[in-house]
Structure 1
Amino acid sequence: MSVGEGGPAALDYHLVHPGPAGGEPRGRPEGVVVEEFVFAADHSAVRLHSAAWTPQDGGWWSSADFSRTMRLDAALRSRVVAVPRRAAAATYRELGGGELPDEATLRGHFHDSTPLATAPLPLAPGRSAAGFAETRVYRVLFADALGPDGLAHLRATWRMTVTGDAADPAARVLGVARRRVGDDAFTWHLRRIGAGGPWCLDLTAELAGGRDDTVRPMLRELTTTLRMAGLLPVTVERFS
């Protein structure tokens, strides 16, 4: 999902399936979509790159409009399934593309990126807990919603403490989990923004020293887990 300080991270892969408007993905995939968010130094997202391939086109093409449509059009989004690179490579081969290009080559097809508007957020430093030098809060916003199976999987995977009933339209925070990475502490809340609205992940990072190199991998891991559960990431904002 990101380009980290230590070099390029893995790209995000999706398969696009045929299917009726608003229906479930079905049938043989029609194409492959590759995406990558680009981040500022503070790990907030600033733009989104994408490239797509179908047998009919015969080559890779880049379109900011297609990335936006994936996030705005529920009918298209219902046909898009997140997969690991090995599954994308297998589909690419089965559709006649041959061997899936390496990620450096795929990045060469990113010609038309989507700028991500950032709202003016309060970035004044908040009070850090004892033993920590800095506290940051990030929000990863997603399109679509989690079903009961996806939510149950996340709660088991992250050993989340259940804080709300997903069947209750008024419930907003549905679970919370924590982890230590070295001397840094991370807490994340799985949240619903309004009844029937989008979902988000709010990550609080409590950093013990002057380095923040644990933040990007944590954001990457959590976002990938939610992407594989069926949510499509829209942006990453920093609140504090």
Structure 2
Amino acid sequence: MIDYYLIEGGGVIVEAFELAGDHTTVGLRSSLWRDGEWRGISGPQWRNDPELLAAVTPVDRDAAAAAYPGEWPDERQLPGEYVAIGGAPVLRLRDEPVPDGFRERRVYRVLFAGEPATDQFISGAGDEFVWHLHRVGGGVAWALDVTVLLTGADDAVGALLHELTADAKGLGLIPVIVERFA
């Protein structure tokens, strides 16, 4: 999962989340493109800087490259600071039975920093998944909670989490981590 953020006043932050096989975050590499060169930047630290957080706008790669043309690195070899994240076992909050016809129930939480640019929040449901974006932590963060019922391989989980995270970024939120509760 690669994210791009334009910085008001100049520069772009490019980040690559490293995900485990179950689609939870295990690492983050963050780079800052400014004045024609790449510099390392701490992903966790810039999310705690209210001024910088307020000055970034999530964009796609094409918009970032158009705003700052030049030599872009191959995102698989993104320069910058790598921070290992996670590695904790799944936090099982409750032991709910898995409905007939499904092999497993997973509950994911994608945490976000920042404030949404709109009050149109993400929520939805399908036969095999439910999701909801809401405030957490006494109002200091946002969480996208996603419940997925699996029948076979979990390939669709990663695509769903990526799509929903992109939707939340479209609201102006900055992803922090993907965790799993069940």
Amino acid at match of 2:60: P
Partner of 2:75: 106
Residues 189 and 106 of structure 1: is their aligned pair in 2 closer, same or farther, counting only changes over 3 Å?
A: closer
> What secondary structure is seen at the aligned counterpart in 2 of 1:113?
strand
Deviations 1:52-75 (A, max 9, x none): 2111xx321223x2x222211111
Which whole-Å deviations, capped at 9, do the CAs of 1:140-167 have from their partners, x for residues lacking one? 01112325xx232x45xxxxxxxxxxxx
CA contact (8 A) 1:132 1:207 kept: yes
User: Contact 1:69/1:76 (CA < 8 Å) preserved in 2?
Assistant: no
Task: Map 1:87-102 onto structure 2 (within 5 A).
Answer: 87-93=63-69, 97=70, 101=72
Deviations 1:1-52 (A, max 9, x none): 2xxxxxxxxx21111113xxxxxxxxxxx11111111111111101111122
Provide the secondary structure at the position in 2 that maps to 1:37.
strand
Q: Distance in 2 between matches of 1:197 and 1:140?
A: 14
Is the contact made by 1:14 and 1:33 (CA closer than 8 Å) also made in structure 2? yes
- Give the corresponding residue for 1:24: none
After superposition, the Cα gap between the structure-2 partners of 1:32 and 1:186, relative to the gap in structure 1 and judged at 3 Å, is: same
The answer for the alignment partner of 1:189 in structure 2 is 132
Alpha-carbon offset, residue 218 of structure 1: 0.5
Deviations 1:67-99 (A, max 9, x none): 222211111100011011111111012xxx3xx
Q: Does 1:44 align with 2:24?
A: yes
Distance in structure 1 (CA, Å) of the matches to 2:137 and 2:83:
26
Give, in angstroms, the shift of residue 111 of structure 1. Answer: 4.4
User: Within 1, Cα distance between the matches of 2:97 and 2:116?
Assistant: 33
What SS is found at the alignment partner of 2:97?
A: coil
Whether 1:151 and 2:137 are equivalent positions in the alignment is: no
Q: Distance in 2 between matches of 1:107 and 1:133?
A: 33
Equivalent-residue separation in structure 2 for 1:178 and 1:223 (angstroms) = 15
Aligned residues: 181
2:167 corresponds to which residue? 225
| Greater RCO, 1 or 2 (C-alpha within 8 Å, sep 6+) | 2
Between the aligned partners of 2:132 and 2:87, the Cα distance in structure 1 is 21
RMSD (CA atoms): 2.1
Q: How high is the sequence identity, in percent, across the aligned residues? A: 41
Tell me how far apart the structure 1 counterparts of residues 141 and 125 of structure 2 sit (CA, whole Å). Answer: 23
Distance 1:109 1:44 in 2: 20
Any gaps of 5 or more consecutive residues in structure 1? 2-10, 19-29, 156-175
AA at the equivalent of 1:218: L
Q: TM-score, normalised by structure 1?
A: 0.69
Unaligned stretches of 5+ residues in structure 2: none
**AA at the equivalent of 2:175:** P
Conservation of the 8 A alpha-carbon contact between 2:16 and 2:75 = no
The alignment's TM-score, normalised by the length of structure 2, stands at: 0.89
Task: Within 5 Å, give how 1:5-24 maps onto structure 2.
Answer: 11-18=2-9
